[in-house]
Structure 1
Amino acid sequence: MDKHKGNLFILSAPSGAGKSTLYKALLSQDKQVRISISHTTRAPRTGEENGREYYFIDDESFLDMIAEDAFFEHAQVFDNYYGTSKESIFEMLEQGLDVILEIDWQGARQIRQIYPEAIGIFILPPSLHALEERLKSRATDTEDVIQRRMAKAVNEMSHYHEYDFVIVNDDFDAALSQMASIFMAMRAKTPVMQEKNSNLINDLLSL
């Protein structure tokens, strides 16, 4: 696979930091970006559809896929499994598309071992209070689950330094602009531009 055909981005954040809202906004304005759809054993939330947010499967099917080495990465989060299919990612990269993996820091480590060219972006909330308020506003989790997520968030955020870029999602428009700029900048790196514009470069240097 030609690693310059598309960029692989790792997007991580504690639950409630706004990463899903950010990447969905980016997808709507940048047609060269795709989101990798993961497999999970958790139950669908209200409004979610199989094959859109996730591929919802049972534990037995997930374990079968692990045995078949079908996942790029996989992890257990709380009581559920999450995994990213290798085949779908490589197909999109081959098409010259930039692919976002929305995964946690554990999955990010697995990805970097297999694909060190992956670009990591970590989203931070403006404060712990704001994070808790965002989780409560969803009205999808019990108070016990929210407190578990808050406790887990501190551990997740302690790994921010393992990423290439950090965005504080305080002002949404500013955060989105930062994310879009990162994607554009990675497409303009010298090796990428050399490949995409090889004929032009040869012509310019022909004298």
Structure 2
Amino acid sequence: MKQQTFWKGSAILLISAMLTKVLGACFKIPLTNVLGGTGMGYFSTAYGLLLPVYALSVTGLSAAVSQTVSRAAALRRWKEVRCIRRAALLACGVLGLLLSCGILLLAEPFTGQVAKQPYAVFSVLAIAPAALFGCLTAVERGYWEGLQTMTPTAVSQAAEAVAKLALGLLLCRWVLTHPEQVCMLVPADVPLAALAAAAA
């Protein structure tokens, strides 16, 4: 397994982080123009529920997997490295699934009673799977970081930002330009901005 130097790995992660921030701004600014204040309120409500859950679950996962993989790799116990990866994917997959299900169950009470934005429920339902994918991604990033290879982490961060920018804006615009097709799937009183925010 080819390892990267500390400086090369750091440079790769720094460039990826900068690119991710730029793409994030490129997503939020036009999205605000498209959705308007009300639509961004629905969008922000969903993130308000996801971010604490995501931070609590994912923050330590990469570091824990990275440390255990690094220790096993230093001893050249490659079978153990593969076992760590499989076990972590299984455990974190279950954790992520439970978190996603929890968000789905809490969507209506959170948006209606806590956030006082009942129409934001569609955005919360749309964003719920991110908890599962976030946990699985954290394991993969930790695995490669433990092998001292930062490129997969950098590439995944950049790909995530590009996908969010392209697909988020594309789906949002599609909903706004096809109201007849979209609104027939929900009650008549649901505002189009709520569905566009969910699409984003």
Q: Which of the two has greater strand per residue?
A: 1
Q: Which of the two has greater helix per residue?
A: 2
TM-score with structure 1 setting the length: 0.31
